[in-house]
Structure 1
Amino acid sequence: MQLSILEGSASGTAIYVETQSPITNINGLISLEIGIGTFVSGDFTTIDWGNNNYFIKTELDITGGTNYTITGTSKLLSVPYALYAKTSGRSTPDPQGEQGLKGDQVIQGDQGIQG
């Protein structure tokens, strides 16, 4: 299986490509972690996720080779937590509040003998 991250559109430039050899579960499903496969091209760590649209392209050769005949492309979307984090880290703080009341000063006595 070959996985590509495309930049800009579903037919955009492949900025990262890797291959993996996943094994299905009893229901025929696979789970993949992108970025840990066999490197083909690009640099996964330098993708600027916050400043463009990205798509994932999956390609499969049912014989296990590189003659990819089953392909699909989907837009990568943000989860709600990521959308919140995008704005919360850049928010403008409110003005500083007024100074609170000062309490009485306490006098501290001499320190005792240490053993």
Structure 2
Amino acid sequence: MSNTRQRAQWAEHLKDEAAELRAQQVSAGSTHSPVEGPLPHSADALESAVHAERERCCAIASRWTSEAEVHRAFAEWTEWETRAAVEMARAILRGIREGQRGDSPA
């Protein structure tokens, strides 16, 4: 199934859910007020949540790309272990950033 086709199906699904939600709120009577705002699983909300999580992960990974920071946290490590940890953190950070651009990590 194509990406365009999937998006069209999801858009139709979200419209159907919105219509059903409106009908449910109307039939609930005067004790219930309609739900306000967008549906919680809209494409925009999902994209925003993914972006925010990637930014949070980048901030965490960035902290560990400094040899000084790793050494402060793990003073008992050898220089080789510290450098290996820093290189791993840099690779993780690159992978997250490539994911933000839509590239596949190498």
Question: Scaled by the length of structure 2, what TM-score is found?
Answer: 0.23
Q: RCO greater where, 1 or 2, for CA within 8 Å and sep 6 or more? A: 1
Question: Scaled by the length of structure 1, what TM-score is found?
Answer: 0.21
